[in-house]
Structure 1
Amino acid sequence: MVMICESNFSLANNEKHLYITHKGTENPWQLLEQVKSSLYGKKKFLDADNVYGYQYDAYNETYKFMINEIRRIMRNYTHFIFGGHSLGGALSILAAYNCVYDNVCTTNNTKVITFGSPRTGTCAFAKKYNEKIPNTYRVVMKDDLIPTVPSCSGYLYSSRCTDCGSEWFTYNYYHVGTEVFYENWTDGGYRLCKKNEEDETCNRRHLSLGIFDIYTYITDNKYYLNKHVTYFEESLNQTYNDTRCRFIKPNARLGFYVFDKRYNAYEAQILGRLSEAIGKDEYDECIKRDIFLSNNIRKVYSYNVSDNELQGTLMVHMDESKFKTHNNEKHLFIAHKGTENPKQLIAQISRIFTTKKKFLDAGEVFSYQFDAYNATYKFMIEELKKLIKKNKYTHIIFGGHSLGGAVSMLAAYHCIYDGVCKSDKTKVVTFGSPRTGTCDFATKYNKILPLTYRVVMVDDLIPTLPSCDSYRVGNKCNKCGYEKLNGYYHAGIEVSYPNWTDGDYRLCTPYEEDETCNGRHFSFTKLFSYYSNWDYYLKKHVTYFEESFNQTFNETRCHFIKPDARVGTHLLRLKPNNDSFVIISS
């Protein structure tokens, strides 16, 4: 089976996407036929060397009907995204190649995303394919065995495949595209493996046929089967009776459209862009003209006040989601403005060594952040009460960049303290946020607001301030409560991005200062390095979601870092994208 679906929205340039999905293996007999076929010869595929015989025959059954339909409707679409699970992924690879070969699709407007897909062709096929369709991503769950078959050129009793063409076994199979490796799908974090290679540091490369390994596969067959069939197991939010589909977890959640208790890159896009927008002079115009924001959210309230003592303008901006969930729920996004000028930054630095302030029942917090949150909170909470009563918002998501992130944390805590927000329906996502309070504050905060995610770019120095309880030399922070220096401690879970442009992130140790992620302690021994490379460190702090903005200043009235960059699935993104993953795998 092949299914063709169009995206439900138009893009900035009136573009639309077409999704072409192929069905995977449907029963044990079909699986046995594939295993038997692996013992027979391969088949020549167009100009791209040999491919797996069963996959070739399966693709041939549907291709001519698919390509005729695409030709009929292609004038309405600018981009084509192929995908499928297991066998369906392999068929999508062949169909996409043939589509480009037939000059119906092009290299630049075609993307392929597969899930748990087996190998498709030889090393020579892989090389030819990667030249023609470089935007191919193979999503693989750790310990899924299907991507390890048919066999590669490798060592019989190990999991390592040799490099493409390095042995005379070039007739053996080799994966195409770039692997997107998920060690644990429920964590939401993934890693991009080496491009166009069999990366042994990701999923196991070669199906090892040692006696002990075969015994393990047989005795733990349920474990390995589960690893193959549960791609996006938590992404499906309906039951069998709703959809006539048997989903693994009928109570699980789908992306942004229902409240996701995990870190969600789609929500982060909205909050990151909104936080960026409200920092501009023409923020209403900026939000209105930003295609991504205008497609997803609608302004319901904003309040700002200038404070001479704080040397800047404080603002809170509330926006509702334009989508309702299947339970008729709506989200409310509340973003706080970050630091707007050098004077305000100096005012914050001057307070680092001053006395902290008591915050409700949760220990002490940074005095500047306390005063900044106080400047807008009473206006925000009164309006929020009215909005919740009138519109019945079920979930509230706070966020902000830099100072705005810290203010959002205090506002979210106070909202729950006042009984307006609920702990299990409130989420906080911050970007490059400094520390907010002491260890006592962090401990209390994490109990009340466990759904807090601090997005941090590697080498952003602001999250290392104010100073934590630490070893004086180096950048390691002590564990919470280890010393009694009453230093600051981060709350929430850090989401570490080694390089934002890769889209790759890692969830750090929950509710701890994880030294394996961003530098934990501002090292005064490196002051000269910081000063000499101030432009590098400044860019690391101000370029969150630098590739998310696809419009120019004249179009949006916002100063974006990269005006030609692409966002989410709303423009064809040449990198892996979580939203495309959900659409295609479903």
Structure 2
Amino acid sequence: MNDPEFDYDLAVLLLNMSLEAYRGSDELGEEFEGLTKIAYITDKKTDTQLILLRGKEKDNVYIAFRGTSSIHDLFTEVVPFKEKYPKENNTSKLFPTKVHKSTLNAYLTVKKKIFKEVKKANKETKISKIYTTGHSLGGAMATYCVFDLKLAYPELDLIMYNFGSIRTGNLSFARKFNNLIPNTYRIVNNEDFSARYPKFLYKHVGKLVFMSRNKLRVNPTRFFQFLENLDNPIGIATGQAMFDHAADKYRIVMKDMETVEKGKLYKKKKR
């Protein structure tokens, strides 16, 4: 199913940024020609890392979070406890907004630094658009980040694409998020196990972009998703689900997808 808002070129760029967040290098790769690094932010205690970049269009800012890269990160990702969202962003007592506790806590360790850099960048050149992205655990933190940014800067155009992200919160959070940031896509590669967890009372945000068998499907039907999930236990048992979750695997699949799907399910856009 085609979606006129899904931008394949943007998805590739944001995936590369997500991978760049793993490197943490002072020098950007050639795929980021014309972009400049604003800051590289880390918190050693929670093993959280991200980069902020300014786009070729100076009013565009990109925030990319690193994904799971250690036992600590894996523990953060799989522990399913929920936490109420910070009070200033949680107005309903009857239907409180709850999210993935350990991931939220990891994000909160860098939140002030992110907002400080965004405020500084906005003073230098007025920002009109912010993109957030991340792979795995980084995708979940990108979700909380763009949510907070929209609450703080409602006038800005905010967009998020994440890759292999876990489910980030309850139904109340998902509904609030989707109302605030409709231009959100979560890209899932085939049997990727991470995108199926946590299960009980957790929901995904945004529109699903599913990649399998050299096809890219934007917003596939629930029946299609049901059929694809039937063999996921086999994928976990064989290790395919872990293999499909790897960041480099996403890069390989999306590169192959460009050749197979070009002109079929999307039109490449100029930005």
TM-score, scaled relative to structure 2: 0.83
* Contact 1:508-1:517 within 8 A present in 2 as well: no
What residue in structure 1 maps to residue 132 of structure 2? 398
Does residue 457 of structure 1 match 2:200?
Answer: no
Structure 2: segments with no counterpart, 5+ residues: 91-95
Aligned counterparts, 1:476-495, within 5 A? 487-495=201-209
Question: Aligned-pair distance for 1:385?
Answer: 1.0
Q: Work out the CA distance in 2 between the residues paired with 1:380 and 1:411.
A: 9
Equivalent residue pairs, number? 258
Q: Work out the CA distance in 2 between the residues paired with 1:358 and 1:498.
A: 34
The one of 315, 332, 347 equivalent to 2:61 is: 332
What residue in structure 1 maps to residue 104 of structure 2? 370
What residue in structure 1 maps to residue 250 of structure 2? 544
Question: Aligned-pair distance for 1:429?
Answer: 0.5
Aligned counterparts, 1:165-564, within 5 A? 187-188=3-4, 262-280=5-23, 283-284=24-25, 288=28, 290-293=29-32, 295-307=33-45, 310=46, 313-322=47-56, 324=57, 330-349=59-78, 351-352=79-80, 354-359=81-86, 360-361=89-90, 363-418=97-152, 420=153, 422=155, 425-468=157-200, 487-499=201-213, 502=214, 504-508=215-219, 514-517=222-225, 529-534=234-239, 536-542=240-246, 543-546=249-252
Could you tell me which amino acid in structure 2 is paired with residue 269 of structure 1?
A: V
String of CA shifts for 1:33-77, please: whole Å, max 9, x gaps.
Answer: xxxxxxxxxxxxxxxxxxxxxxxxxxxxxxxxxxxxxxxxxxxxx
* Contact 2:121-2:127 within 8 A present in 1 as well: yes
Q: Work out the CA distance in 1 between the residues paired with 2:147 and 2:232.
A: 35
* Contact 2:236-2:242 within 8 A present in 1 as well: no
Q: Work out the CA distance in 1 between the residues paired with 2:259 and 2:217.
A: 21
Aligned counterparts, 1:566-585, within 5 A? 575=260, 577=262
CA 1:408/1:518 → structure 2, altered by over 3 Å: closer, same or farther? farther
SS of residue in 2 equivalent to 1:392: coil
CA 1:453/1:518 → structure 2, altered by over 3 Å: closer, same or farther? farther
Q: Higher relative CO (CA 8 A, sep ≥ 6), structure 1 or 2?
A: 2
Question: Aligned-pair distance for 1:514?
Answer: 3.3
TM-score, scaled relative to structure 1: 0.41
* Contact 2:9-2:268 within 8 A present in 1 as well: no
Identity over the aligned pairs, expressed in percent?
A: 21
Structure 1: segments with no counterpart, 5+ residues: 1-182, 189-261, 469-486, 549-565
Question: Aligned-pair distance for 1:297?
Answer: 2.3
SS of residue in 1 equivalent to 2:130: strand
Q: Work out the CA distance in 2 between the residues paired with 1:372 and 1:519.
A: 34
Question: Aligned-pair distance for 1:458?
Answer: 1.6
Question: Aligned-pair distance for 1:505?
Answer: 1.6
Question: Aligned-pair distance for 1:532?
Answer: 3.3
* Contact 2:77-2:137 within 8 A present in 1 as well: no
Q: Work out the CA distance in 2 between the residues paired with 1:279 and 1:463.
A: 19
